[in-house]
């Protein structure tokens, strides 16, 4: 339970289609400590859409359990494999949707920015990021996890913690309406010639899309 106005909890997410990492920081004033970290392992699930459902369920469960005040998520890395990028984008989108559905503000950071914030080097390896993070947070050997996805997620949360009091440089969403306004091209794909695609969206999302379209006429 949070007892002071200066205390808050940050949920970090490292998107993935096979393994998705998560990490939670408790911030009290100018100090941060690790609450938990782990992974959502979907390697046994062959159906890609059921994997997305698994992501939504687990991220929702983590939010319900820890009640984070904010979520920091790593932006997809733009590689050469288009199909991999599309799959990763879907995974990230589902995690974002889970947070927005719970009215948790989202902050998105590029991998380069996270590495720079933790190690001071944009080309740092995952091992270097994890090692520095363990020292900064005083994480003991017994608390470490075998997947780097978890430490990457914790790094995203710590990167956001370091941004406190600084000018906002990442992408952030404060609700469905804000998400729609900043992602008009994605929304137009749903509301254009996509048939009944929007029928599968939550009622609150459909209402916000309609209101936003009317306001911008």
H or E element, residue 5: none
Residues 98/61, Cβ–Cβ less than 8 Å? no
Strand ordering across the sheet containing 106-109: 31-41, 19-28, 7-14, 70-74, 106-109, 171-173
> Residue 148 in 3-state DSSP?
helix
Bridge-partner residues for 37, per DSSP? Answer: 23
Q: Centre a 10 Å sphere on the Cβ of residue 191 and count the other Cβ atoms it contains.
A: 16
Residues 6+ away with beta carbon under 8 Å from 168:
none
CA distance 217 to 201: 23
CA distance 70 to 97: 13
Residues assigned a catalytic role: 14, 74, 149
CA distance 67 to 102: 9
Q: Centre a 10 Å sphere on the Cβ of residue 36 and count the other Cβ atoms it contains.
A: 16
């Amino acid at each position: 339970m949070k007892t002071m106005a200066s205390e808050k909890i940050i949920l970090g997410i490292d998107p993935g289609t096979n393994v998705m990492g998560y990490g939670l920081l408790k911030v009290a004033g100018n100090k941060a400590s690790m609450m938990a970290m782990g992974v959502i392992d979907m390697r046994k699930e062959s159906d890609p859409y059921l994997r997305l459902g698994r992501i939504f369920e687990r991220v929702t469960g983590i939010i319900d359990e820890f009640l984070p005040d904010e979520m920091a998520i790593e932006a997809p890395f733009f590689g050469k494999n288009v199909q991999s990028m599309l799959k990763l984008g879907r995974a990230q989108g589902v995690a974002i949707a889970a947070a927005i559905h719970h009215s948790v503000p989202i902050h998105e950071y590029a991998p380069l920015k996270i590495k720079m914030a933790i190690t001071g080097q944009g080309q740092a390896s995952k091992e270097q990021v994890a090692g520095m993070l363990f020292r900064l947070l005083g994480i003991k050997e017994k608390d470490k996890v075998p997947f780097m996805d978890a430490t990457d997620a914790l790094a995203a949360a710590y990167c956001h913690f370091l941004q406190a009091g600084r000018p906002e440089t990442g992408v952030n969403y404060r609700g469905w309406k804000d998400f729609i306004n900043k992602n008009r091209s994605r929304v137009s794909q749903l509301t254009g010639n996509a048939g009944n695609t929007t029928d599968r969206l939550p009622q609150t999302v459909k209402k916000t899309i309609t209101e936003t379209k009317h306001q911008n006429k």
